[in-house]
Amino acid sequence: MISFVIPTLNERKTIEQTLQCVAAFSGKHEIIVSDGGSQDGTVQICRKYTDKVIIYDKPDRQTIAMARNMGAAAAEGAYLVFLDADVIIPDIDRFFDAAEAAFRNDLRLVALTGQYKVLPHVGTWVDGVFFKMLGLEFLLLNNIFRIGAAGGEFQMISVEAFRRVGGFNEKLAAAEDMDLFRRLSKMGLTRFEKRLTVYHTGRRAHTVGWPRLAWEWFTNSVSVWVFKRSASKEWKEIR
pLDDT of residue 60: 86
Question: Which neighbouring-strand residues pair with 61?
Answer: none
pLDDT of residue 206: 96
pLDDT of residue 221: 95
Distances, alpha carbon 91 to alpha carbons 21, 96, 98, 219, in Å: 9, 9, 11, 35
C-alpha 168/C-alpha 82 separation (Å) is 11
Q: What is the pLDDT along the chain (239 residues), one digit of tens a residue?
A: 999 999 999 999 999 999 999 999 999 999 999 999 999 999 999 999 998 999 998 888 899 999 999 999 999 999 999 999 999 999 999 999 999 999 999 999 999 999 999 999 999 999 999 999 999 999 999 999 999 999 999 999 999 999 999 999 999 999 999 999 999 999 999 999 999 999 999 999 999 999 999 999 999 999 999 999 999 988 777 87
Question: What does the angle CA 207 – CA 208 – CA 211 come to, to the nearest 5 degrees?
Answer: 135
pLDDT of residue 233: 86
All structural domains of the chain? 2-227 (3.90.550.10)
C-alpha 156/C-alpha 4 separation (Å) is 9
pLDDT of residue 59: 85
Sheet containing strand 189-200, strands side by side: 52-55, 29-35, 2-8, 79-83, 154-158, 109-118, 189-200
pLDDT of residue 43: 96
pLDDT of residue 28: 97
Q: Is there a contact between 123 and 52 (Cβ–Cβ < 8 Å)?
A: no
pLDDT of residue 235: 75
Which residues have a Cβ under 8 Å from the Cβ of 18 and sit 6 or more positions away? 6, 83, 84, 85, 86, 87, 88
